[in-house]
Amino acid sequence: MDALSDQVKLWNGGMTFSPRSRNYFPKLRSFPLGRRPAIIVASILSLLSTTILSLSIGSHSQPAEIPLFLQQISSDFSGVFIIGESIDADVEEPSITVTWALLGCGQDFVWNNATILTTGASCGMLAMKAAVFVDGSEEPVIQYDPMKFSVDSTTNLTNFLPSLFHFETEHVPNTKNAVLYPFDSYTTSTSFQLREPDSGSVIPINKISLINSTTGNLLDVSFVDIPTISTTNGVQGPSRDVRLELTRSSGAIAYALLYFIVNWTLTHLAICLAVLSWADKGVDTPVKVLVLVFAAVVAIPHLRSSMPDAPDTQGDLTDNIGFFPQMVLVGICIIFSLLVLVLRVLSGVERKNREAELPRTLQLPRSLPDDSSIYTIV
């Protein structure tokens, strides 16, 4: 009975389990993964993630086309239409260059029924002559004349040259929020007035719109179209003002913040390594720490300059709470590690000198007949 109480046999498929044993179940076999399969799997996952990220960004990076944009205009819209096709923003200058197109919508305003769309609004080349004045200038930025379009003699089709109905305007934005990168914003405004070149009469502008497309896709654009009255060359008439505001896109903000976090992570690692060099009593550790911290000093400025469309280090928000304190802290870590290394080297030299000055003792075997088994060698 004692033997039965000490050992309880449970039969299950021919296996015996003991309550006193810690291994109630058979040990599972392990299949170690070699280095080569692990590298292959990691490479495949990296390529897949990179491809998915590139496709997701590329699908939204194409600028909107004018025909697709004009489909949003109601079919009963009629009049002169100015559309901003693209914006080239240079925040370092700073300057904003907008490319505009002069169009007409409606049967009475489209030249020779040359519509851009087959469905929706009937918009196309403007049917009348027009001189475009920007910001009250005395000279027009463009003098549009539909008769300047050439006609193909073989197909009898009109060649619409972009330079005949496109024009550019350059503006200096307000940069009071430029120091808030990557949350900076830039605002500007412009005024348009159309006049008939021969008679000088003012042509009303029915609508001004803007495609949200910038060079590099780093900025998002918002605008307000305001009908106004302005005077150009002594002629007063209706005009339209456009107010633009450019802000960083969500993708640019996300990447800038990631660089910011990586730089602070490197800074904290440098501090931890400096503390580690002090805690370890060896000489090799401060040398290794110096190499790693110096690598952080080199990497942080490169990561700062790699931020998307980042301004120079002129005391912006990301510099005051990021780059400047990061470089100071990492520099202190280098100085601290150098001091630790010097102290360790000096202490090692002193220890060797002290050991050299101490008398050496020799302990003889106890089997010798002499009572004094310790001899001092001077």
- Taking the C-alpha atoms of 357, 362, 363 and 368 in order, what is their torsion angle to the nearest 10 degrees? -150
Task: Report which of 257, 239, 258 is spatially closest to residue 134, judged by C-alpha positions.
Answer: 239
Least confident stretch, 4-8, 100-104, 166-170, 211-215: 4-8
Query: Quick one: which H or E segment has residue 122?
Result: none
Q: Which CATH architecture has domain 66-248?
A: Distorted Sandwich (2.70)
d(CA 296, CA 269): 9
Per 3-state DSSP, the chain is made up of helix, strand and coil in percentages (nearest 5) of 35, 30, 35
pLDDT in tens, 222-262: 777 777 777 666 667 788 888 888 888 888 888 889 999 99
What token pair was written down for 149?
């379009």
Paired tokens of 106: 């409606």
Return all residues near 336 (Cβ < 8 A) that are at least 6 apart. Answer: 274, 277, 278
Report the distance separating Cα 336 and Cα 295, nearest Å. Answer: 16
Contact at 8 Å (CB) between 69 and 219?
no
Is 60 exceeded by the pLDDT of residue 154?
Answer: yes
Of 61, 73, 133, the residue nearest 104 (C-alpha): 73
Q: How confident is the model at residue 300 (pLDDT cuts 50, 70, 90)?
A: very high
Given phi > 0 = left and psi -120 to 50 = alpha, else beta, which region is 135? Answer: left
**Least confident span in 139-148, 194-203, 359-368:** 359-368
Q: Which of 69-73, 273-277, 357-361 has the highest mean pLDDT?
A: 273-277
Three-state DSSP class for 61?
coil
Q: Which residue has the higher pLDDT, 49 or 87?
A: 87
Domain with CATH 2.70.170 in the chain: 66-248
Residue 333 has pLDDT above 70, yes or no: yes
